[in-house]
């Protein structure tokens, strides 16, 4: 008991030191320039960015430059994000292949020919520039690839251990991963899809579960400055889109009959239900997308808002309170990482189960 | 608000990355891992089943043994009973036989004794007759040699004859 | 009152609704678990899924507030 308390205290101190310095230094930086704007700071953290910003030391930002890949009318243009010199207010103009690019709030705009500076309308939208097709390796894409490497490392090692031990006794990392895999199979796939058809969907469910989970966890690591991949709607959209495709293409006769001509109800009701069911077909993956995005983003926003309190009140006296609260939220968020991955997987499995259910 | 506007580039990379991850993991991770887990479970299940089978077989064997023993016991009982019966019968038969033989022998013996007796009687009669004749001859001779005696005899005979 | 303020109130209302819904789910799940501890796992799973559904409604509200 005491040991556990001690451990958790130590953990929280470490956790908070890291996150405090991580957030605080950058916030101090932005405060120097102008009045501290918590909304802008939070959105900047939650949204995607070019370049992987690690920390500011004495107002000097340190970041990992990432490649920017743009497709314009005159073909592909690539350069490193460091060429913007950490500017995201559209002040630094990068000239490449005869085209000029600016970074306005972490969105790259191509200035129209002949323009040299970006001009804004009343709502701060650039008026003399347009967005090119943007395939940049942003920090989210970068973290996604890091997570893919970690996942591949974990599970290929696990698989190798099974091959190595002829008697199939899990050892090392396999003994840690096997309960999770069996959990996905026995608690998610089997009850939701059914004993006979679950096997087909197992690879998808497992991949989605671990992919979401690991990215949720990576989003919580402060030093990575919340590369908020699973809190980005583009990412959740992609996963929900995959679920939608699989559900639609594995739907059997019974499933489609349920949507277009609900059995067992009178004809006017059938006609009434049809549009509802068709809308439901799309609402299901959309709710998956929104749920994951909003949960993770909300968690990040709350932690950051609690941290911002220190800078809003401009006193260190608030620090213990906001640290205590953000520690509390942080611990809840650790639980939420797993729960949201679980919910996404369970609901995907549920939809697959509905699509492949036999008539009864 | 662009917080909820999906970014094209990120959607593009997410889809590509996810699909590649899915296929790589499916081929090199999920298949061997799930296969191994299922194999192990199958192994455990079959081991349990065979243990159960063995237990059942054991029970069957035991029951069989019991049954066979029971059968053997009852068979022995039956055999013994039969043997006893046979023995009794044999004894009875033998007794009867012996009885019959004995009585037959006795009969034969009696018959033989009878015939012997008859023969002996006949011989005795003959002998007695001969002896009587001899005696009679002797007596007659004697008597005839003595007149008085002859007369006496005739007289006594006559007397006897009248008496008869 | 600005439009953002109204949006924030809307998001708050959505949160109230979801809070009540999830509270009811949680309470009933607890009741059910106390009554039948042997199917605790099943109850937990369905409670989580139901909570996710209720929560989705609140999140739609929040997202609608974000769009404004």
Listing from the earlier edge strand, what are the strands of the sheet with A133-134? A75-80, A67-72, A133-134
Q: How do the domains of chain B map onto residue ranges?
A: 8-163
Residues of chain C found within 8 Å of residue B4, distances taken between Cβ atoms:
63, 66-67
Interval A170-189 mean pLDDT: 86
pLDDT of residue B65: 93
The winner for highest mean pLDDT among A74-78, A284-288, C3-7 is A284-288
| pLDDT band at residue A18 under the 50/70/90 scheme | very low
d(CA A241, CA A344): 12
Of all residues in chain B, the percent with pLDDT exceeding 90 is 38
What's the pLDDT score for residue A226?
58
Mean pLDDT on A250-262: 85
d(CA A139, CA A47): 10
Task: Kindly list the residues from chain C whose CB atom is less than 8 angstroms away from the CB atom of residue A339.
Answer: 48
Fill in the DSSP letter of residue B5: S
Cα A155 from Cα B28, distance rounded (Å): 8
The pLDDT confidence band at residue A162, using thresholds 50, 70 and 90, is confident
Name the band, by pLDDT with cuts 50, 70 and 90, for residue B111: confident
pLDDT at B66 exceeding the cut of 50: yes
- Write the burial class of residue A252 (CB in 10 Å: 0-12 exposed, 13-18 middle, 19+ buried): middle
pLDDT attached to residue B163: 57
pLDDT of B34 over the 90 cut: no
Q: Which has the minimum average pLDDT: A17-26, A200-209, B89-98?
A: A17-26
Mean pLDDT calculated for residue range B72-90: 93
Query: Would you state the torsion angle of the CA atoms of residues C56, C60, C65, C68, taken in this order, to the nearest 10 degrees?
Result: 160
Distance CA B74, CA B65 (A): 14
Note the pLDDT of residue A285. Answer: 92
Residue tagged 């002797």 (tokens): B138
Smallest CA–CA distance, residue C27 to chain A, in Å, is: 19
What Rg value do the Cα atoms of chain B yield, rounded? Answer: 63
Count other Cβ atoms within 10 Å, centred on residue A37. Answer: 15
Q: Which residue in A180, A177, A157, A161 sits closest to A169, CA to CA?
A: A161
Residue B3 and residue A207: Cβ atoms within 8 Å? no
pLDDT-derived band at A168 (thresholds 50, 70, 90) equals low
Output A195 or A19, whichever has higher pLDDT.
A195
Q: Which carries the bigger pLDDT value, residue A210 or residue A15?
A: A210
Residues of C in contact with A290 (CB under 8 A): 56, 59-60, 63
The answer to whether residue B64 scores a pLDDT higher than 80 is: yes
Inter-chain contact B43–A168, Cβ cutoff 8 Å? Answer: yes
Q: Do A145 and B11 touch (CB under 8 A)?
A: no
- C-alpha C14/C-alpha B103 separation (Å) is 128
- Tell me phi and psi for residue A109, to 5 degrees: -115, 145
pTM over 0.90: no
Q: What is the mean pLDDT of chain A?
A: 81
Q: Does C1 touch chain B (CB under 8 A)?
A: no
Quote the tokens at residue A348.
């995907």
**A266 exposure class (CB count in 10 Å sphere: 0-12, 13-18, 19+):** exposed
Contact: A290, C63; criterion CB under 8 Å: yes
Q: CA dist A240 to A29, A117, A133, B2, C42, Å?
A: 38, 39, 23, 19, 25
The pLDDT tens digits for A90-127 are 777 887 777 788 888 778 888 877 777 777 777 777 87
Task: State the pLDDT at residue A14.
Answer: 44
Q: Is the pLDDT of residue A233 over 80?
A: yes
Mean pLDDT of A59-83: 81
The β-bridge partners of A89 are A104
Chain A neighbors of C56, CB-CB under 8 A:
287, 290-291
Among A27-31, A183-187, B152-156, the least confident range: A27-31
For the cut 60, the answer to whether the pLDDT of residue A27 exceeds it is no
| A53: phi then psi, degrees, rounded to nearest 5 | -80, 125
What does the alpha-carbon distance between residue A159 and residue A173 come to, in Å, rounded to a whole number? 10
**Domain enclosing residue C61, as ranges:** 3-67
| Per-residue confidence (pLDDT) for residue A102, from 0 to 100 | 81
- Residues of chain C whose pLDDT is less than 70? 1
Per-residue model confidence (pLDDT) at position A23: 45
pLDDT computed for residue B36 by the predictor:
85
For A244, counting Cβ atoms within 10 Å of its Cβ (0-12 exposed, 13-18 middle, 19+ buried), the class is buried
CB A358 within 8 A of CB A198: no
Question: What is the crossing angle of helices A139-164 and B31-145, to 10°?
Answer: 20
Any B CB within 8 A of A178 CB: yes
Distance in Å, alpha carbon of C17 to nearest chain A alpha carbon: 16
Nearest to A134 among B9, B24, B30 (CB): B9
State residue B68's pLDDT score.
94
pLDDT at A345 over 50: yes
pLDDT band at A224; cut points 50, 70, 90:
low
Q: Would you mind telling me the total number of residues written for chain C in this entry?
A: 68
- Between CA A331 and CA A323 the distance in angstroms is 12
Compute the CA torsion angle A355, A356, A358, A360 (nearest 10 deg): -40
pLDDT for A171 beyond 80: no
Beta strand A133-134 pairing with A67-72: antiparallel
Residue/partner pairs of A255-258 with CB below 8 Å, 24 or more apart: A255/A354, A255/A355, A255/A356, A255/A357
Helix (H, G, I), strand (E, B) or coil at A71: strand
Angle between helices A267-313 and A2-33 (to 10 degrees): 80
If DSSP codes are grouped into helix, strand and coil, which group holds residue B57? helix
Q: Give the range among A27-31, A258-262, B15-19, B115-119 with minimum mean pLDDT.
A: A27-31
Check pLDDT > 90 for residue B63.
yes
**Structure tokens of A238?**
């992609």
pLDDT at B164: 53
Of residues C41, C49, C59, nearest to A290 (C-beta): C59
CA-to-CA dists, residue A213 to A198, A226, A303, A305, angstroms: 21, 14, 19, 23
Specify the DSSP class assigned to residue A149. Answer: H
Measure C67 CA to nearest chain A CA, in Å. 13
Q: Which residue among A133, A136, A203 places its CB closest to the CB of B26?
A: A203
CATH code of the domain containing C28: 1.20.20.10
Number of domains making up chain C = 1
Across the beta sheet with A94-96, the strand order is A94-96, A99-104, A107-111, A129-130
| Other beta carbons less than 10 A from residue A82's beta carbon | 14
What 8-state DSSP symbol labels residue A189?
I
Instruction: Name, in order, each residue with C-beta under 8 angstroms of A162's C-beta and a sequence gap of 6 or more.
Output: A168, A170, A174, B32, B33, B36
Query: Which chain B positions have a beta carbon within 8 Å of A203's beta carbon?
Result: 22, 25-26, 30-31
Q: How far apart are CA B152 and CA B147, in angstroms?
A: 8
Check residue A31 and give its pLDDT: 43
Q: Worst-scoring range by mean pLDDT, A149-163, A197-211, A222-236, B62-76?
A: A222-236
Per-residue pLDDT at A211 exceeds 90: yes
Identify the residue with better confidence: B63 or A11.
B63
- Partners of A101 in the β-ladder: A94, A110
Question: Looking at this predicted complex, what is its ipTM?
Answer: 0.83
Chain A residues closer than 8 Å to C62 by CB: 294, 298
């Amino acid at each position: 008991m005491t040991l556990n308390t001690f451990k958790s205290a130590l953990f929280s101190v470490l956790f908070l030191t890291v996150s405090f310095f991580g957030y605080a230094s950058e916030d101090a930086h932005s405060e120097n320039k102008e009045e501290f704007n918590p909304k802008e700071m939070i959105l900047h953290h939650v949204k995607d960015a070019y370049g992987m910003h690690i920390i500011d030391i004495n107002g000097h930002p340190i970041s990992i430059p990432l490649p920017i890949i743009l497709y314009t009318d005159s073909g592909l243009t690539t350069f490193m994000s460091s060429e913007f010199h950490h500017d995201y207010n559209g002040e630094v103009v990068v000239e490449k292949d005869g085209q000029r690019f600016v970074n306005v709030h972490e969105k790259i705009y191509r200035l129209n020919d002949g323009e040299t500076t970006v001009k804004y309308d009343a709502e701060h939208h650039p008026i003399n520039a347009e967005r090119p097709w943007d395939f940049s390796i942003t920090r989210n894409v970068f973290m996604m690839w890091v997570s893919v490497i970690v996942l591949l490392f974990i599970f290929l090692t696990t698989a190798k251990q099974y091959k190595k031990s002829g008697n199939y006794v899990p050892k090392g990392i396999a003994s840690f991963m096997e309960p999770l895999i069996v959990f996905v199979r026995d608690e998610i796939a089997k009850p939701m899809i059914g004993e006979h058809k679950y096997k087909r969907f197992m690879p998808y469910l497992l991949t989605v579960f671990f992919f979401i989970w690991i990215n949720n966890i990576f989003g919580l690591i402060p030093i990575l400055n919340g590369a908020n991949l699973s809190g980005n709607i583009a990412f959740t959209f992609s996963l929900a889109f995959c679920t939608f495709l699989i559900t639609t293409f594995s739907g059997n006769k019974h499933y489609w009959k349920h949507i277009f001509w609900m059995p067992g109800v009178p004809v006017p009701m059938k006609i009434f239900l049809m549009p509802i069911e068709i809308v439901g077909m799309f609402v299901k993956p959309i709710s998956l997308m929104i749920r994951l995005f909003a949960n993770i983003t909300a968690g990040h926003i709350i932690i950051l808002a609690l941290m911002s309190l220190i800078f809003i009140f401009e006193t260190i006296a608030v620090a213990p309170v906001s640290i205590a609260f953000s520690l509390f939220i942080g611990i809840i968020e650790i639980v939420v990482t797993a729960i949201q991955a679980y919910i996404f997987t369970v609901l995907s499995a549920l939809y697959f189960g509905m699509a492949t259910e036999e008539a009864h | 608000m662009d917080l909820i506007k999906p970014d094209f580039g990120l959607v593009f990379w997410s889809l590509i990355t996810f699909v590649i991850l899915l296929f790589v993991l499916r081929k090199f991770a999920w298949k061997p891992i799930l296969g191994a887990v299922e194999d192990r479970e199958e192994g455990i299940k079959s081991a349990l089943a065979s243990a159960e089978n063995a237990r059942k077989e054991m029970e069957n064997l035991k029951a069989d043994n019991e049954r066979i023993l029971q059968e053997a016991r009852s068979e022995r009982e039956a055999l013994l009973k039969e043997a006893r019966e046979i023995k009794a019968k044999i004894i009875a038969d033998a007794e009867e036989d012996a009885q019959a033989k004995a009585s037959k022998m006795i009969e034969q013996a009696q018959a033989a004794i009878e015939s012997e007796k008859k023969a002996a009687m006949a011989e005795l009669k003959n002998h007695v007759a001969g002896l009587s004749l001899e005696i009679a001859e002797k007596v007659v001779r004697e008597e005839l040699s003595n007149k008085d005696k002859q007369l006496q005899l005739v007289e006594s005979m006559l007397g006897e004859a009248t008496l008869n | 009152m600005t439009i953002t303020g109204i949006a924030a109130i809307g998001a708050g209302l959505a949160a109230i609704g979801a809070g009540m819904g999830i509270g009811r789910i949680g309470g009933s799940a607890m009741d059910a678990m106390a009554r039948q501890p042997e199917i605790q796992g099943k109850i937990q799973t369905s409670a989580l899924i139901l909570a996710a559904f209720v929560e989705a409604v609140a999140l739609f509200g929040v997202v609608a507030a974000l769009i404004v």
